[in-house]
Chain A
Amino acid sequence: MIAVIDYKAGNLTSVMKALLAVGAQAEATSDPDLVMKADKLVLPGVGHFSATVFLEEHGLKAAIQDRVQQGIPFLGICVGLQWLFEGSTESPHVSGLGAFSGSCERFTSGMKVPHVGWNSIEISQSRLLQGISSGEFVYYTHSYRAPVVNKTVAITNYGLPFTAVVERDNIMGVQFHPEKSGRTGLRILENFVRL
């Protein structure tokens, strides 16, 4: 079972629907016990980085940390990816999981913000992106971006390159919304479900 972690930041309907569409058994939950029992974790996210404070306050962060250390597959989406880094200037007092180094920052001026729409990805080696080619388009909507780190496996350019996908062993994050990225997005979710 995949636990889709509900931290009360926006709606999970689209993520749940897409996971079910690729044949996953998924359950939305805010219960750390369920996180401990799940085979895989998905941390979706639309909205503000500060919402992730809920994870800490409800014992979810500790549970996620445990499970991730045990090696179960974890997928962070959008703010869920950003949370894998150390933090974000959007909410300097809230720390992320720190699985990847660096902090997320707002897009620089001169560009339209939020970055909304379909943008292409440039891919290096990735298990999550199996069957996806560089140049394929995915749907983004975000105002903050994660830095490019040595575990960045796909980048997107918007002003500057940022991390589109990060992956270290089974810890994975995507800045775009696979649940809204048509066939390309569903294929990525399917890859995750089949890990």
Chain B
Amino acid sequence: MLTKRIIACLDVNAGRVVKGVQFVDIVDAGDPAELALRHADAGADEIVLLDITATHEGRRTLIDTVKRTARQLFVPFTVGGGIRTVDDAAAVFDAGADKVSINSAAIARPELIDEIGSKFGAQAVIVAIDARRAKESANAVDDAEVFVSGGRKPTGRKVLEWAQEAEERGAGEILLTSMDADGTRAGFDCELTALVSKAVQIPVIASGGAGTADHFADVLLQGSADAALAASIFHFGIANVRTLKEEIAKRGVSVRLPC
């Protein structure tokens, strides 16, 4: 039986894993290669590394970090942040990534999805969507809007339509982050996740708001997510991946155990 995936995310800045809320109060959380291995050993089904600053000067550092992180890692490894061209993607694949996650650049130029997909295969392209509920709308969830630039810039595009376009263009997965829930540790946006997951045929990874094991179970069951991603709760030992999996297995989520 296909299991639900628990994905550990490393937010990286200048070669170090960091954690901050909306780029404020950034705390050093450790070395990416070391943390990736630790999470994989603890049962993480995948590792995602996001370059949160993605500055031009930082690209070289990122490639080195990806290489170092990939070296001992034998689970799927996704890299995102600042990938704007097929060449950017190629460099990251060469360094050892299995998938790239693209966000703002895909909104700016949706053909990027087709281009990377046709060169490296659909399985190698994750389209990341930062979503905010449309609070002024009567259908706040249906009308949820796509934001870019770390969730600061509205695009005027609806999440649902963009997810469907990404699928049509050949994305292999959607990484859906609720900007409303992100950083709150109050739970994933299950309603929004379910809406998107049922509207596309490709897998949807839920992100934003993880605080407890129950939150994961909720989004993987009621939220129809195929995978759930979290960052900070794993780095600081609030939940070890294995413990988390054992907890959600009790709620009836099928997970890879033993791992």
Contacts of A92 in B (CB 8 A): none
Count contacts between A and B, CB distance < 8 Å: 96
- B120 touching A47, Cβ below 8 Å: yes
A116 CB contact (under 8 Å) in B1, B40, B226: B226
A141 to B123, CA, bound (A): 6
- B256 touching A112, Cβ below 8 Å: no
- Please tell me if B93 contacts chain A, counting CB pairs below 8 Å: yes
- B3 touching A113, Cβ below 8 Å: no
- Per DSSP, chain A at the interface is mixed
Q: Given known contacts A17-B96, A117-B5, is B74 in contact with A137 (CB within 8 Å)?
A: no
- A119 touching B1, Cβ below 8 Å: yes
Number of interface residues, chain A, beta carbon within 8 A: 37
> Chain A 105-146 against B: per-residue CB contact (8 Å), 1 yes, 0 no?
000010011111111100000000000000001011111000
A186 to B173, CA, bound (A): 25
B2 CB contact (under 8 Å) in A21, A109, A117, A180: A117
A137 CB contact (under 8 Å) in B72, B94, B256: B256
- B120 touching A14, Cβ below 8 Å: no
- B2 touching A158, Cβ below 8 Å: yes
Among B5, B40, B76, B227, residue most surrounded by chain A Cβ atoms (within 10 Å)? B76
A21 to B94, CA, bound (A): 17
Q: How far is the CB of A42 from chain B (nearest CB, A)?
A: 16
- A119 touching B2, Cβ below 8 Å: yes
- Please tell me if B121 contacts chain A, counting CB pairs below 8 Å: yes
B120 CB contact (under 8 Å) in A46, A114, A143, A180: A46
- Per DSSP, chain B at the interface is loop
Contacts of B95 in A (CB 8 A): 13
Interface size band for B = 20 to 34
> Chain A 161-195 against B: per-residue CB contact (8 Å), 1 yes, 0 no?
00000000000000001011111011000000000
- A114 touching B124, Cβ below 8 Å: no
- Please tell me if B157 contacts chain A, counting CB pairs below 8 Å: no
Q: Given known contacts A17-B96, A116-B226, is B3 in contact with A180 (CB within 8 Å)?
A: no
- B96 touching A116, Cβ below 8 Å: no
13 A-B pairs with CB atoms under 8 Å apart are A10-B121, A13-B93, A13-B96, A17-B96, A112-B203, A116-B203, A117-B45, A117-B203, A137-B256, A139-B76, A140-B2, A177-B76, A182-B40
Known A13-B70, A117-B45; 17 more pairs at CB < 8 Å:
A10-B93, A17-B70, A18-B74, A46-B120, A46-B121, A112-B203, A114-B172, A114-B202, A116-B173, A117-B2, A117-B5, A117-B203, A117-B226, A118-B3, A181-B74, A182-B40, A183-B74
* Interfacial residues, chain A to chain B (CB-CB below 8 A): 9-11, 13-14, 17-18, 21, 46-48, 109, 112-120, 137, 139-143, 157-158, 177, 179-183, 185-186
